Amino acid sequence: MPTPTLQEQFGQIDIYLFDQLLKGRISPGMRILDAGCGSGRNLVYFLREGYEVYAADADAQSVDSVRSLARMFAPALPASNFRVEAVEQMSFDDACADVVVSNTVLHLARDDAHFESMLLGSWRVLKPGGLFFCRLASTIGMESQFKRIQGRRFRSPDGAERYLVDEALLGSIAERLGGELADPLKTTVVQNQRSMSTWVVRKKLL
């Protein structure tokens, strides 16, 4: 059989999630849970390589797409691993996953209460010692370029409305939840259109 191309092997995986693979923080045998999975862009590699994969999204069509990927690459995984559920209402067991992926999800929060419930719902399913990988929009590096709508809801220069965090908030959340940074906080400013931060937190052992 021909060697798969990089795109076939990894799909459209987020480059910063790929970085965690390169650093050896995600390895075979781990349970991966994608909280807010979308169409499964970050799951192709894990499905192909035999990881135990779980996912949830409030959009039924997105979950159908992930189930199709699973049938193709990991037919032994039950369809019940992939659930039509909002991240704040996931029915997975507490502390069931070694890695929780939250990629471009939390900035969809409507307000502080919604952000908190989404975050806690995602954190709840992570094992002590597990890795929480989060990419979300922030104000970092572009503080003066957003228009505040209400609370932490801002309009970005690209026209989108998002719930935006900052470094101080992420630091206080990690401390409150009992987490510690696995990597320094990294932020990419996308040509003065939006700011995206990568927040990778290790859940402390009990």
pLDDT-derived band at 70 (thresholds 50, 70, 90) equals very high
pLDDT at 1 over 70: no
The fold of 6-21+30-203 is: Rossmann fold (3.40.50)
Domain boundaries, the chain: 6-21+30-203
Query: Do 195 and 138 touch, CB atoms closer than 8 A?
Result: yes
pTM of the complete model: 0.95
Mean pLDDT of 29-34: 97
pLDDT in tens, 112-149: 999 999 999 999 999 999 999 999 999 999 999 999 99
Mean pLDDT of 54-82: 97
